[in-house]
Structure 1
Amino acid sequence: MKILHLETSSRNCSVSISEGKTLLSTCEEISESLNQSEKLHRFVEWALEGASLTLRDLDVISLGKGPGSYTGLRIGASAAKGFCFGLELPLVASESIATLAHPFLGKEYDVVIPLIDARRMEVYTAAYDGATGKVLEPTTNKILSENTFEKYQGKKILFVGDGAKKAQELLVQQDSTFLSEVYPSSRYLVDPAVERITLQQFEDVAYFEPFYLKDFHGVKKTK
């Protein structure tokens, strides 16, 4: 089963191809300009070339559904729907925030807390048991304060994601590590995508919407 994985919820425009749980290729780039609309389809082309496949070889489309950048999520969802409708393929969608925690589970941390910057002092966040990967807190948005994660005081904590930088300046945590230069990646959509495919947890492509978590607030121009 050959799967195209798309992740556009952050500054990392990321595309991967897998055959089941075997990763075949990844093409991704972190950019401050959030220009996924310019890169995504080119990265799909390069990822397919790296896997020696064509679009017609694909069986499923996998998408990182957010939360994250509103614009990035719209671009990813539109592309995923286009591939699904055009190629008559099913869609599975997984939370982008989980891809931040995934590479750090089963290591030396008691708790892994991904933090996605949601502007000002707000973050999108969740909490995972560092040993088992069990969800300790489901994905939500929080206003950071020095006591936001005090329930985990005394544990060895990893804060990971672009929201970790402002968290490090504020949080009072004794045994904590902060990694702010880490972004959601399509390569970590592989395992959850296969699990959803096995359980037949496919999205309704026509009605699918990204996991925005909060309403979009645009900026109104003044004359």
Structure 2
Amino acid sequence: MAILLCIETTTTNCSVALAKDDVILSFKEDMGLNYSHAERLHIYIAEVLREANISKSEIDAVAVSKGPGSYTGLRIGVSAAKGLCYALSVPLIATNTLKALAMQVNDPCDYIIPVLDARRMEVYSAIFNSEFNELRGIEAQIVAEDSFLKYLDSGKVVFVGNGAAKLKDLIKHPNAQFNDVALPSAREMVTLAAAKHKISDTEDVAYFEPFYLKDFYVTSKKK
């Protein structure tokens, strides 16, 4: 039995889960519209440990959602995960952010396309079948009304994530279904982290970096 601490900070959702293998012992998250990671992440970590009556020394591995997503959110989550791994001398596990998001879909469908907002008319996306097997890897793409037409013409498609709001206004295909409320969560990370821990699929703590996909840039203030 392994005690796993899972951290998800790729979007505005600050989410932490503590699990024994793939069974969640305690869970906290803030699904607000504003970023609260700097204020809440370490509080949530302490709370899930306390609620499960687990000490930090009992943690066997720390898992972090690797991105893509918010640059600042990713840095906060990865920094916290690395700090814990160094302090506790435990391995670091990185999980697929978009796969965990896809796993929130329970409706019968042929394809699941998790989409995260990437500014303007761009999204981060990947494509999975109903068994959560990856059919196309993660890409940053500008969306249009004919985006994902190959999959829409082949069967029912569920778009899930905050990027789905952009697609709802563009895609009017009868096979399209949208869930623009869902955000990546530590809840779905647990299954992925447990599977990786079982086969010792871990990261080099010193050299691991989040999967940004796009370069970070700062916009100047208007005068």
TM-score interval (norm. to shorter): over 0.9
Report if the CA contact (8 A) 2:127-2:136 is conserved: yes
Aligned length: 221
Match of 1:125 in 2: 125
Post-superposition, which runs of at least 4 consecutive aligned residues in structure 1 deviate over 6 A?
none
Pair 1:218 & 2:218 matched: yes
**Runs (5+) with no aligned partner, structure 1:** none
3-state SS of 1:50 partner: helix
Percent identity, aligned pairs only, is 40
State the AA in 2 paired with 1:210.
Answer: P
How far is 1:196 from its partner?
A: 1.3
Report if the CA contact (8 A) 1:3-1:60 is conserved: yes
**Equivalent residues in 2 for 1:1-223, closer than 5 Å:** 1-104=2-105, 107-130=107-130, 132-154=131-153, 155-221=155-221
Deviates more, 1:190-199 or 1:118-127: 190-199
How far is 1:222 from its partner?
A: 6.8
How far is 1:103 from its partner?
A: 2.5
How far is 1:219 from its partner?
A: 2.0
Q: Partners of 1:142 and 1:8 in 2: how far apart? A: 22
> What do residues 71-101 of structure 1 show as CA deviations (whole Å, max 9, x unaligned)?
0000000000100011111100011111111
Give the alignment's TM-score, normalised by structure 2: 0.95
> What do residues 89-138 of structure 1 show as CA deviations (whole Å, max 9, x unaligned)?
11000111111111325x411111101000100000001101x2211111
Give the alignment's TM-score, normalised by structure 1: 0.95
> What do residues 21-55 of structure 1 show as CA deviations (whole Å, max 9, x unaligned)?
11111100112221201110001011111211111
3-state SS of 1:170 partner: coil
How far is 1:209 from its partner?
A: 0.3
Q: Partners of 2:200 and 2:62 in 1: how far apart? A: 13
**Runs (5+) with no aligned partner, structure 2:** none
Q: Partners of 1:188 and 1:153 in 2: how far apart? A: 26
